[in-house]
Structure 1
Amino acid sequence: MIYKQLIKAKSLNLLAVLVLFSSVSNATQTTPESEALIEELVKQISSTMIAVVDAEKKAGKDVNDLHITLDIPGKHSPNLGLILNVDDKKGFRVLNVTPGSLAESLEIRQGDLIAAINGVSPDSSDKKVVFAELENTLPGDTIIFDVYRNGVTKRIEALVEGQYTPAIKLEIGESSAKNEQESSVEEQEASASNKIEDNETLSESSVCGVISTFFKPPETRNLYSVFISQIGERKILSSNTSYKLPPGKHVIRVHEAIDDPFFKRYTRSTVHRGQFLDFEIEVKENTTYYLAAEFNRNARFKERTGDYWKPVVWRVREDRPCEL
């Protein structure tokens, strides 16, 4: 996540830790500090919902029909903890360092100047390219900072660790009995389908690999986000970003989400569902494959033929334990 400050600063605190519970009772024993935070969170949710109800009333809607669900999967993210002013001509000026972050552990301080990242200097290269070095950093990567302070430049090399954001499940309001019944039927069908698929995919071994669309690919390399709608014959939720698969060849249906100023769409498919292509990938055990849409600017007018893009694996992470 990147946040802009008043002076066009960008934040590299890539993880906002949110812990939401569908009820006040905890499934696990939490510390007094966590319980206090949860109580504060409940107050914030209640306050926000009062504003939502007021907005619905003003729109003439029946608030008794209000039913909102949030279901966000858990994920691992790097926690660099840097808020930077990217407009400094000499480099990236550190505006703030998040407590408990990697930057704090490396003793990077407010006011420091990051003169280079992974050997690439912002004053001699396109700053977007340099900033992409930070945006595309994943847990397990090694990152190198050249930090200038008090007339001295110090090189700092560190292994980026990840932090885990738990899955978020939140339901607001009550669905009608009919919706509940339909939902129950759908859940039963999905459960039965999953059981069948598990029996079909699981063999003697439970090892697996992962395909992922979680991390944003570097647009400086003409790579853009994608989402997956189908794996083999199985249709899946496009809101999910990672899928465990047994080793072997799999056909993935990938939709492009190209957002490039040189690309103008002339045909309109379903909202936010760009054109799709079926993409075959051979999955190896304990390996993660990050997918992207490679945009061909020279063919940007060939939207109808689909020649303007193709799905690619833009990054591979090996030796990442995976178990079905």
Structure 2
Amino acid sequence: MNASFRSERSLPARPPRRPLALLLALFAPAAFAQAPVSAPELVDEAVIAIHHARGAEDRPLTIEQPARVRYELGAVIDSQPEDGGLPRVMAVTPRRAADRMGLMEGDRLLSLGDTRFDSVADPGALLREAVAGGHGMLRFEVLRDGRTRQVSGHLDRIDIPGYRLQIDAPAAVEGCGRVSTFLTPPISEDLFPALLHEIDGRLYGSLDSEVFRLPAGRHVLKVTEMIRGDRFLGQQNRQRQRLMRNERFKYLEIDVKPNTKYHLGVRFFPDRRNPIRDQKYWEPVIWKETEEPCR
């Protein structure tokens, strides 16, 4: 039986975005431009994650992408510098398109083609659109050492092959097993009862059940600890009760085998410092497995 647990916690706040060093699709390591691109490297893992999150992992998933071409400049450009001036070239990759054109670090971009940068609200969007739809060719007017210069040239072309990836649904596992909270775990081993809230986002039975019949396969249990209060100091107990009122849970993933009963409990870690606030004082566990026919 494979089992793993995770706790429910809020995600950290995302830091504010700073409009510095616009990478666009303009900059990439030289090795990427030379190496062939294989289909697995192009698979959007987010698509697979969403597929599973929607409970569709029991159905085949097809990810398809036609062959396409991408152009890259090979430069890092700050499209909105802190001094409020024109876009500035921050870095140029040697032997890439920007280097061949003659762009240099510190250049200020005056115009792209016939469009001046000081006439557009979003210089970054202008650069992105020009790279994506410029047919591999760009022409800049730049300010360098107080003088204007014209630079132009071909972008680096990256040919990305098309692919079609079929992810088959896993073969169904026949049979059933059970998860039980009926037996009291051995407290002498720092094991205590668990309160089972949900299985796979719902309950396979009534709320007051102590044994739950499950189809064989992987399941996720939503658990709260029921550790005896005399194992904590008074202040710790008050912190613990506040956590439980806020419905703080942990999750245990188990692979249910046919004709097997899994006895659910929690393991207590009594010697951890400041253990209450981050819930590191406990974890859900399967403390015993027994063979039992399930039909």
Same fold (TM over 0.5): no
Larger relative contact order (C-alpha < 8 A, sep ≥ 6)? 2
The structure in which a higher percent of residues are helix is: 1
> TM-score scaled to structure 1, two decimals?
0.34
Larger Rg: 2
> TM-score scaled to structure 2, two decimals?
0.37
